[in-house]
A and B are shown apart, each in its own frame.
Chain A
Amino acid sequence: MRIACPHCGPRGVDEFSYLGDATLTRPASDAPEAAFADYVYFRDNPAGEHRELWQHASGCQSWLVVTRDTRTHAISQVEAARDVALARSKGAA
């Protein structure tokens, strides 16, 4: 598999390390314990499009949000995680 890092261009998957679901948002510090339990432990396992966090660990160190079809490994979008996070916090504000 190859991932097109928005900063470095397409690279082999061996340069990246996987974390997991990128649709989760860390609960606010005053959120109930149950919200944190959901955030830490509960994951969907979709057959199809999945937004997930990867780090270009052997490259520019950027965390990325990769949109990947779990059935075909086809990657439809790769975004810098920081941009996604900033846009999200703006949206929330």
Chain B
Amino acid sequence: MAQSHRLPSRGLVDRARTIGFRFDGRSYEGHAGDTLASALLANGVRLVGRSFKYHRPRGVIASGSEEPNALVELRTGARREPNTKATTVELFDGLDAQSQNRWPSLAFDLMSVNQLASPVFVAGFYYKTFMWPAKLWEKLYEPMIRRAAGLGRAAEAADPDDYEKFTAHCDLLVVGAGPAGLAAALAAGRAGARVILADEDFVLGGRLNADRRVIDGATSPDWAARAVAELESLPEVTVLRRTTVLAAYDGGVYAALERVSDHIAVPAAHQPRQRLWRIVATRAVLAAGSLERPIAFGNNDLPGVMLAGAARTYLNRYGVAPGKRAVVYASTSDAARTVLDLSAAGVEIAAVVDARGDAPALQEAAKAAKAPLILGGSIARATGWRGVSGCEIADASGRTLKMECDLVAVSGGWNPSMQLSTHLGGRPVWDDAKAAFLPGSCPPGMTVVGAAAGAFGLAQAIAAGAQAGVEAASDAGFAASAFDVPSVDPEPDVVYGRGPWRSPSTSAKAFVDLQNDVTVKDVELSAREGFVSVEHLKRYTTLGMATDQGKTANLLGLAIMADVTGRTIPQTGMTLSRPPFAPVAIGALGGAHRGKEFKPTRLPPSHFWAEEQGAVFTETGQWMRAAYFPRSGEKDWFESTMREVETVRTKVGVYDASTLGKIDIQGPDAAALLDKVYINAFASLAVGKARYGLMLREDGMAMDDGTTTRLSDTHYYMTTTTANAAAVMRHLEYAKQWLWPELDVAFASVTDQWAQYAIAGPRSREVVAALVDEGFDVSNEALPYMGATELTVCGGTRARLFRLSFSGELAYELAVPARYGDAMIRAIIKAGQPFGICPYGAEALSVMRIEKGHAAGPELNGTTAAADLGMGRMASKKKDFIGRAMAGRDGLADPARPRLVGFRPVDRSARLRSGSHLVARGAEPSAANDAGYVTSTAYSPSNGHWIGLGFLARAEERMGEIVIAHDPLRDGDIEVEVVSPVFVDPEGARLRA
């Protein structure tokens, strides 16, 4: 029967709009404004899922994001989403949901035999049952447990949707759009303050929509709707529906998740699925209301057992009767409303059980509903197979009454939702009268109002909210006019749920944490085994560790532990909540920038040209660099790289060196500053000359290297390695601002200002000569090795020309403003054609620098000192510099420290591997015998065999010695000869040619 439990009137759903949806393959109908939970209940569907551990039948317990039970898989394919709370899923046309954690079907679940084995699955079962023999863990126990337990299935395909991050600033953030939150937002918003009001629901008003209250003569939903309409008309107020505030951080920063498109089948074009908000708020009002807690009794997990307040929500907001015949079991006066609302909607009240017998409102309601009243009684257990069909009630004298019913509405009181107030370490305080933890010290700027602060009355909540709103506005400099607190319908004296927390024990399972299947017995067992602290209770039983973070379970578990151990609740403790308040998809945390857009991609000026040439690229941090330029007929990177090296060594090649960090250094103290950061002297460098420099960290280890050119007395141009450009800039600013603040020097990053090409090889001078404008002399006399000059190229483009060489050949670096970089590479290739020029990539460069013994990243690895790199003698003795003192300590001067050397295989056909460790011939390859390691290797076309660089202890005494390069990972132990690290042109004749 279609919507068998839909009431003829009532509710905020749009009965004119019928929505079709599917659950476990069956088609149903609901209305616009329904949640999946309300629509299932409207159709009489009570069994919604199976539980985590015991596979027990489960239904809908709550009506919001605290729902521990009704978890479903939503959508299909790449958008499949497990563990979605049916109570928060807004119904949309074509919604397709599956129950989860059942096999083969929801109604008949084979795994529910887990219940029979439940002695095995008691609390701590992970620690006890499967410990021995350990080897069975991976192969048997874990797969078995994973099959039997678990929650839902993640999608297997990549998430097709977009996510977005967004930052907003406001004078006041209001968390929760119930009566207190609406009043706060109105009071501050009317005054002109910038207000953000966020609520996780899609209809704002909180309990105003769930209860039948009267405010200023209007029904409470009407009052809420009018308040929202007014807020939306205020230009400085932002109203965020479907937005959960997840976390509070230092400095008034809050995280919130807006479910932009979760309520439709597929996001609209260009719309994100979800948006993660960072909200910077001067003040915050936490008006998140409160969440009801159950009382534990036997079989309290059967479908048909529901929180009393949730039952009202389904009646009043959705127009759905959650049952036909109800028993109401409560220790609070608030449940009286449930009795009255059920009765008014035509639901028969089978009995009202006032657990303490001290709630007059409850008793009056029972009378009004003409229902039997049982004072001081309890429900021993609910009965039924896949849902409640009755219950056994123990009265105060111990007699058992059997009642037929299909709904048990239960209330053990209300817990203020003050999780956000504890995110910065604030500790809640137990209020014995209200039987609730109330917010303790709050994050700076936060005020908690309404039910979240334990002010459970409607009038109180509105007044407190308005007051907080006025204060926030005046704080932000806006004079708020007094807020007329509206009149509300009479509120009876409140009786809070002060226990009992559980029915006297029965043989039936009584659940505390429904999602993690933690029972009263598990809490008792935990106490017996000595896990009496609340933190131990949590870890031992997994209480409160499920996706709902125990919103309905934590206090109950704590109270039962207090009971069992004869302590008070505050003596027993309190579990603090941590962010996030509700689960967040990883996609939302990742945001828009993922895949290729995860980080910026920096393309050197020759990139487009290199693409045209068919270059193969390699990522270096954010940069894309050409690795090599394959030519037709070349079968792999090796062949192309060897050809490029050969061309540079015999003719000429060009390489885009623009990725090197470049820093402009100016000022009267530029030289003094350089002398502080480099180990060698720069004050003595002549104008028009470049010098290689090494900088250390203060602990004496090498930090970076590069060449620095003196352009004028007070102007230097520094280059850094590609990887360390930002770190060196930071280091320079540190030296200038903090270590030597009296120095007068200024830095500018010019990395991207210049396109800088290395033109290298015996014919490079001829190529450069063809590019420079008339009147500029690039001969060896005019521009010797390590010379630098400013000139123009290609008919007037200003350029800098440096005689630098990383390859070891006669070489130049030509820099032009970056906008000409693309044209420059084309011009270089054209000018170089008569001389056989080819472009070369990072691979060829690496081979050539290893052939020359130049240190690079693998050698400047953070653990090597200048002396280790063979540069100890470069260090000036005449000046102070960063790292000088620590570089001089005995440990770093020890000849036993590994020093940079070269290696060549004894068997010239053998391949050397970097990462190999060095041991003496005949010695056991052990840590004790470790004499060093190989850092860089390459096949050297110039030598015709593999070569390597690395660090070896007592290197100076061991030249010519044969040692073993031990490579256990790749099963390659080879004999290598210790040689000088310079394999090509050791005298440096070529680069000075």
Contact = CB atoms under 8 A, between A and B. Distances in A.
Interface string A17-38: 1010000001101010100110
Interface string B698-738: 11000000000000000000000000000001100110011
Interface residues of B, number: 27
Contact of B734 (A63, A73, A89): A63
Contacts of A19: 734
Contacts of B733: 55, 61, 63
Interface stretch (B249-257, B327-335, B392-400): B249-257
B739 interface: yes
Nearest to B734: A63
Interface in A25-55: 26-27, 29, 31, 33, 36-37, 39-41, 53, 55
A81 B737 contact: yes
Interface in B250-278: 250-253, 278
A61 B82 CA distance: 45
A63 B738 contact: yes
Nearest to B253: A2
Nearest to B888: A33
Contacts of B986: none
B886 A1 contact: no
Contacts of A17: 730
Contacts of A80: 737
A56 B42 CA distance: 57
A2 B737 contact: no
Nearest to B444: A74
A12 B253 contact: yes
Contacts of B741: 82, 85-86, 89
Contact of A33 (B252, B444, B889): B889
A67 interface: no
A39 B698 contact: yes
B730 A40 contact: no
B230 interface: no
Contacts of A39: 698
A10 B738 CA distance: 22
B565 to A, nearest CB: 31
Nearest to B882: A26
Contacts of A89: 741-742
A85 B885 contact: no
**Main secondary structure on A side of the interface with B:** mixed
A8 interface: no
B280 A2 contact: yes
Report which residue of A13, A33, A55, A63 has the largest number of chain B beta carbons within 10 angstroms of its beta carbon: A63
Interface string B413-438: 00000000000110000000000000
A40 B253 contact: no
B689 interface: no
B698 A2 contact: no
A37 B886 contact: yes
B884 interface: yes
A57 B886 contact: no
A40 B886 CA distance: 9
Given A1-B251, A2-B253, A82 B737 contact: yes
A73 B250 contact: yes
Contacts of B886: 33, 36-37, 40
B232 interface: no
A81 B739 CA distance: 9
A89 B250 CA distance: 34
B880 interface: yes
Contacts of B280: 2, 12
B21 to A, nearest CB: 42
A49 B699 CA distance: 27
B361 to A, nearest CB: 43
B880 to A, nearest CB: 3
Nearest to B747: A61
B885 A36 contact: yes
B885 A31 contact: yes
Nearest to B249: A1
Nearest to A62: B737
Given A39-B698, A40-B886, A89-B741, A2 B734 contact: no
Given A17-B730, A33-B889, A82 B250 contact: no
Contacts of B730: 17, 55, 57
A29 B886 CA distance: 11
Contacts of A85: 737-739, 741
A27 B252 contact: no
Nearest to A88: B741
A25 to B, nearest CB: 10
Nearest to B699: A40
Nearest to B889: A33
A2 B889 contact: no
A1 B251 CA distance: 5
A64 B35 CA distance: 52
Given A1-B253, A2-B253, A73-B251, 6 more contacts: A10-B251, A29-B884, A33-B888, A40-B698, A81-B737, A81-B738
5 contacts: A13-B251, A57-B730, A74-B444, A85-B737, A86-B742
Interface of B: 249-253, 278, 280, 424-425, 444, 698-699, 729-730, 733-734, 737-739, 741-742, 880, 884-886, 888-889
Interface pairs A-B: 3 shortest CB-CB: A2-B251, A29-B880, A36-B885
